Structure 1
Amino acid sequence: MPTCDAEQLSPCDDSSDEDKASLLLDEIPSRLSWSRLNKSCFLRLPKTLILSALAILCIFVWALLQLGGLITEQDMRSSVASPVHGADVSITSCGTTSIQAHTAGCSFDMFSFGWYPPECTDSELYGESVDNLFARMAGRAAFIAHPDHEAAKYLPKNLTAIQPQPQPKDDVDATGIQNVDIIANFDHHLVACTYAWQKVQRAAVRRWPLDEWSSSLTLARQCGPDLLAKWRDQELQSSNKMRRLRVWYPKCGLSKEDLQRNLYAVLDGA
């Protein structure tokens, strides 16, 4: 009769089915004994060793979570903020005249009528707000400017009506430039309000420097009622709601102390 290995049942085994069944039944106790042995060995391990292994596993999982969060935060910052707007970046000086500001690479903002360095310029939001003003005006002029005004050339031509205005003789600054007011309508003011609020929010989220105009609580307190009143009184578009604007150079990169002074000034004047 052919012989085969006792632990390997293969087609070469011509033993009867009863013999095969008997062989399998004989193996079961040994396998069960090995399983009990493994279990008993595990239970006999020192508890300190088991706890140490669990602690190492927990630390490893925690490290993975921290690493994943760090990578996500870095990706988010790199996707929403350009290097020029870092928290510790030095602020470009725009000078005290439009010529100096333009030469320094600063940008004129037609909503605040201020010159801003690159560190306080949100070009994407500014472009969206300009488009919004264009849509609201629907071909009407948003500004009335004197032809000799220093900021007239920085305003959109199709939003500006050039008209001569009376010029007081004493309305001249230290550089000899005539600071004639530019008149803006109420729609310009409303868009400027929404632009300022968004600019502050975006700067805070992206850790960009805050500027003196958009973070002003005085502006915020003025914008709130005006935006609400817009929907109650259509007469707000009349000439008595036109606003006079002058070119200035808002501070960029406010400190905590600057914001506190801003708050106290508003509270003292309330």
Structure 2
Amino acid sequence: MDKTVTSAREAVADIPAGASLAVGGFGLCGIPSVLIQALREQGSGDLEVISNNCGVDDWGLGLLLQDGRFRRVVASYVGENKEFARQYLAGELEVELTPQGTLAERLRAGGSGIPAFFTATGVGTQIAEGGLPWKYDFEGGVAVASPPKRTEEFELGRSVGTFVLEKAIVADFALVRAARGDRHGNLVFHSAARNFNPLCAMAGVVTIAEVEELVEPGDLDPDQIHLPGVYVHRVVPLTPAEAAEKRIEKRTTRTGTEQN
């Protein structure tokens, strides 16, 4: 089945207002920047986004945030975005902060048909006990707080411990970026750009992948495929210019006199 579509604009055209989105990337590494820009032009708002972070103020998901297009964000790190902090503290945005490993597993579980799982992460904290401020009111008070989660004791190996129940995540749509992909949707990611992309792709009911290089079915070594095409529904081949545009979140330089 040929899953390619002619443009990013066509690929995101049916994402409605109020939809939930799982978006791959880590910082600005491996983010589906072309699909994000197309969604910005498409205009849907009142979105819930699930992503490790929310980009920066002038790139990635930060562009949609800047336009006021999100009602809720599920993320593990948001420290690089001043507008994110402003909206959250002003009561304009609901935020569910989730431990990074837990977020990854919630996405993977959703894509694997596992409704929930127990983990030790967060036991004894507000993650398990509830009370984390998800949304503030306009006076600075807590309008919505996280609920307490179920905990149980289990024997694991030779020890017994307490574990907290975490629910899987399934999103209406997923947006991801891959280095190579074929027309069947099989994807290969480049190094650290792999990050949350396969997990978000698994969690999407409809997954849209932008690929830097489109190849024909059979060109990818089956042993090298990171995500099978069963999880991908639309493939958007990027132009050379689109594939080359990759911003750096923080640039560190040194003078020629410094030593390693």
Say which structure is richer in helix: 1
Higher RCO, Cα 8 Å, sep 6+: 2
Q: Which has the larger radius of gyration?
A: 1
Give the shorter-chain TM-score range.
Answer: under 0.3
User: What TM-score does the superposition give when structure 1 sets the normalisation length?
Assistant: 0.25
